[in-house]
Chains A and B, each alone.
Chain A
Amino acid sequence: MGAPVTVSQLTVVAQGRAGEQAIVGNLSFSIAPGEVLALIGESGSGKTTTALALMGHARSGCRIAGGSIRIGDIDVLSLAPAATRRLRGCTVAYIAQSAAASFNPSRSIMDQVIEPARIHRLLSRTEAEAKAVALFRELALPDPEHIGARYPHQVSGGQLQRLMAAMALITDPQLVILDEPTTALDVTTQIEVLRAFRRVVRERRATAVYVSHDLAVVAQMADHILVLRDGTMRELGCTEQIIEAPRHEYTQSLLAAALPRQRTAGQASSTAQTQALLQVSELSAGYGQNVVLQDIDLKLYRGQAIGVIGESGSGKTTLARAIAGLMAPSKGRIRFDGQDLAPRLAQRSKEDLRRIQIVFQMADTALNPSQTVSSILARPLQFYRGLRGAALQARIDELLDLVQLPAALAQRLPGGLSGGQKQRVNLARALAAEPDLILCDEVTSALDTVVGAAVLDLMAQLRRELGVSYLFISHDLHTVRSVCDEIVVMQHGRKLAQVARADFERGPHHPYYELLARSVPELRRGWLDEVPAAAV
């Protein structure tokens, strides 16, 4: 049975260049025992900071400056250091986003799962192990008796996330904090993990805080939702009210971004061309004996957007790399605009390279941190077109304008840009080459819902205005559906199915496509109960 949680006037400050800055300001809320409260907001909204504060912890450089937090009859912020240590892992448990990063790779899973109980001397080793096995069973882990003897790399990501839940629950905490626990998982795995989490939380009637940026996931888990932005509360209400009748305009914009929307070019006539822009036939590729791609066939017409979808390890990124020439295929042909493309980068002409550009997922690693925006954009212009002086400057301004960034940004380094701005610069660099085809590798996966939706809008608009084609790689069916004319489904390096836009909603499809489509969380309560158990 969980404890009631009361937070009042919580303020967390961060040490900035201009003195201390509040990153969470005057936050007050309470959670009834056994209820689940969701904290939702974009990155930087203070949701993780708030969750950590519940354990009396502030990240380095931050400080809890005021307010009070009560869990049951414990006043968290006035505890002595030793008592705070006892609180953490014992009264309050934390489940982090990436289980893979939270487990020690060189110790067995059982050792780590029972560690909280052992550190706090709550249970003997045999008792703790028996309890862990019971938890494994409750969390629907395979082979609960023996899975503890394995090491973290021997289980899947979804299983590891559930094992981390077992680690958190072994001390019977009164409050469980789940910080984006399924964000790093594939959709089909996410369902199972969500189901397991919800069952244990309900059965134990634990009080829980669920931190997420995904409204659809939260709608399945939470009783109440607290919407945060810039460290202040925008709206707090029960789940039905928030998703059906949001009052605050920010909540409304979050909901609008989460809803499926058509972003097509709306010019079906252009597909009348008989010659495909890109034609991939019987393409195979791999690393040594390890075959990653097998016999892929793909046709893309000018102005078309094709989505390639699959879970991690399905070979979709390898496909993009092979088309870009970054990886030589072992078999098959790639024809571009009627001509064969050389398999290797070094054998392709500058003109071939210019016409295919690639845009990567993580704008953080895709932009050189030591070059200004203007020099990042200038390079392809100088390299392919030989532009210089005023013409170069004019073109840079034009490109920034095209991706809806102010010209003043040109002198900044990527470190001074927000995630959405970086992704726009990333896109602008590809557009600088005036390509015919842009390979987009998970371009919106690292962005918040609202920002990601804006980037997708921009991409659809660019397609209409410039007539570029996209090969859009994603694990998110929802995103792919909204921008693409056709969807290619991949699994284990093979193409399973190709679905045209007209048939998105019409079946029957390949069972794996159906499974993926079913697994995308829907923004309504009770969705999780209706989805049949996934049988992969």
Chain B
Amino acid sequence: MNDSALPTATATAAAPSATAPRRAARGAVRRAFHRVNRVGLASLAVLLFWLLAALLGPSLMSNGGSSLGDDAVFAPVSAAHWFGTDYLGRDVLARVVQGTRLTIGVALAATLLASGCGTLLALLAAASGRWIDAVLSRAVDTLTSVPGKMFALIMVAAFGSSLPTLILTAGIIYLPGAYRIARSLAVNIDAMDYVTVARARGEGRLYIMLHEILPNIVGPMLADLGLRFVYVVLLLASLSFLGLGVQPPAADWGSLVRENIGALPVGGAAIIMPALSIASLTIAVNLLIDNLPWRSGHEAH
């Protein structure tokens, strides 16, 4: 490109102003928002709905999902009970909304644990090379070889079913996947000349991991975080369905499905609605990630 002509044009454009970076950042957010297509916006709306339900739901639901109602068991959808009633005659909508916090909270904590630890270990492996890389990778391979649900059964059998155990279990099960992806990304970045330059400068391992490599893999890792969240939601729901997850009287969506399994022959809304909630959350997160603008064109900025 023309070296001499470009700078003059930019010198005038970038007049020094304290608010310029903030305005630029806000503009970038708006641009990103505009570039999310309709499917992405719809999934974002569903996700926001569930997040709001998790945050505000329990205080809005005055009648409290655990109190026994006077209504019939497995009542169909009606004006009084939008989601019908469950096997004890309680309002299913209230139960679902109350379960949101548990479902999303536990899954989010487990996902952050899995992706965070996976990424950090991967950075360590990529920046250290040879020995540490080999040891870490083989250790993670070993974890992969244990079937996820089997591992969860063992953990619950050994330590009992508490929220920390569930979070830790799901975190460990999904760590290898995050590690593998982060490592392959990090190894590619590690081969870049700027990392070699940093190394030749005498930089320490931590600096190379956190300043040179991490910022360049954080985009794909965030996309992966979303997918991993979906897997964790499904794992926890199936554990609860098996009775190994969240224990009564607390209930996440998976345990709601299990509680109301009796509604299956009568076709009650009590079992369909929690199942639909699980589906809507996971599909929304999935579609949102697929339609994020920076995922396909990170370099286009």
Contact = CB atoms under 8 A, between A and B. Distances in A.
Interface of A: 42-44, 324-326, 345, 348, 350, 353-354, 356-358, 360-362, 365-371, 379-380, 383-384, 405-406, 408-409, 411-412, 415, 418-421, 424, 429, 433, 451, 454
A44 B199 contact: no
B2 A418 contact: yes
A166 B205 CA distance: 50
B63 interface: no
Contacts of A406: 7-8, 10-11
Residue picked from A366, A408, A412, most chain B C-beta under 10 Å: A408
Given A369-B216, A371-B215, A406-B10, A358 B197 contact: yes
B70 interface: no
Contact of A345 (B2, B202, B216): B202
Contacts of A405: 7
9 contacts: A358-B200, A361-B193, A379-B198, A405-B7, A406-B8, A415-B299, A415-B301, A421-B1, A454-B3
B184 interface: no
B14 A411 contact: yes
B49 interface: no
A345 B201 CA distance: 9
B90 to A, nearest CB: 51
B203 A383 contact: yes
Nearest to A420: B3
B132 to A, nearest CB: 15
A484 B2 CA distance: 26
Contact of A421 (B6, B21, B212): B6
Given A357-B200, A360-B197, A418-B1, 4 more contacts: A408-B7, A408-B10, A408-B14, A420-B3
B200 A368 contact: no
A360 B7 contact: no
Nearest to B8: A406
A38 B79 CA distance: 78
B193 A360 contact: yes
Contacts of A357: 200-201
Contacts of B2: 418
A42 B193 CA distance: 25
B82 interface: no
B263 to A, nearest CB: 52
Interface in B183-228: 192-194, 196-203, 211-212, 215-216
Contacts of B1: 42-44, 418-421, 451
B262 to A, nearest CB: 55
Contacts of B215: 368, 370-371
Closest 4 CB pairs of A and B: A418-B1, A370-B215, A406-B7, A360-B193
Contacts of A380: 201
A415 B299 CA distance: 8
B182 to A, nearest CB: 16
A113 to B, nearest CB: 33
B199 A326 contact: yes
A383 B11 contact: no
A324 B193 CA distance: 13
A368 B212 contact: yes
A165 B193 CA distance: 34
A324 B215 CA distance: 26
Interface in B23-41: none
Interface string B33-56: 000000000000000000000000
Given A408-B10, A408-B11, A433 B201 contact: yes
A433 B201 CA distance: 9
B193 A365 contact: yes
A445 B139 CA distance: 43
Given A368-B212, A368-B216, A411-B14, A325 B200 contact: yes
Given A406-B10, A409-B10, A433-B201, A421 B3 contact: yes
A350 B194 contact: no
A356 B200 CA distance: 9
A348 B201 CA distance: 10
B260 to A, nearest CB: 49
Nearest to A407: B11
Nearest to A356: B200
Contacts of A42: 1
Contacts of A326: 196, 199-200
Contacts of B199: 326, 345
Contacts of A44: 1
A357 B203 CA distance: 13
A469 to B, nearest CB: 17
Contacts of B14: 408, 411
Contacts of A43: 1
Contacts of A412: 10
Contacts of A379: 198, 201
A348 B200 CA distance: 10
A370 to B, nearest CB: 4
Nearest to B218: A370
Given A366-B194, A368-B216, A454-B3, A350 B202 contact: yes
Given A362-B193, A406-B11, A408-B11, A418 B200 contact: no
